[in-house]
Amino acid sequence: MRTRVHREYRFEAAHFLPRVREGHKCARMHGHSYQVLVVIEGEIDPNLGWVMDFGDLDEVVMPLVNALDHRVLNDLAGLENPTSELLATWMWNQLWPTLPLLVELHVSETPSSRCVYRGPEPAP
């Protein structure tokens, strides 16, 4: 039985967007209380009754969350322009090698703004 499992993580970080038009408020350094929703999908293990232990998921995701917490995102290689969209794809690329069940990654900067990334497009 195929099932999706969601787990939410939070971190605080600062950033600025260097490519926005002059005078745009996001060109200035500012911070967010980021929420990240990690969505995995797989078959329920018939013996254990779950797709993946939440503790095992945390072992994969928390090192990344800890590396982002209380940082200036622009200082991280690959996040020189840390929009929500680029942060989501960057995080995906960090998690995918050790989390092949990953199917969605949601990144929220505020309670009313969210980006959803579902991985790279399959090759034609």
Given the residues 26, 104, 106, 115, the one annotated as active site: 26
CB 8 within 8 A of CB 39: no
**Active-site residue, 109 included:** yes
Given the residues 43, 70, 80, 85, the one annotated as active site: 70
Cα atoms in the 13 Å half-sphere on the side-chain side of 81: 5
Q: Exposure pattern of 86-119 as b/e (b: 16+ CB <10 Å)?
A: bbbbbbbebbeeebebbebbbbbbeeeeebebee
**Active-site residue, 26 included:** yes
- Report, as residue numbers or ranges, the catalytic residues: 26, 70, 109
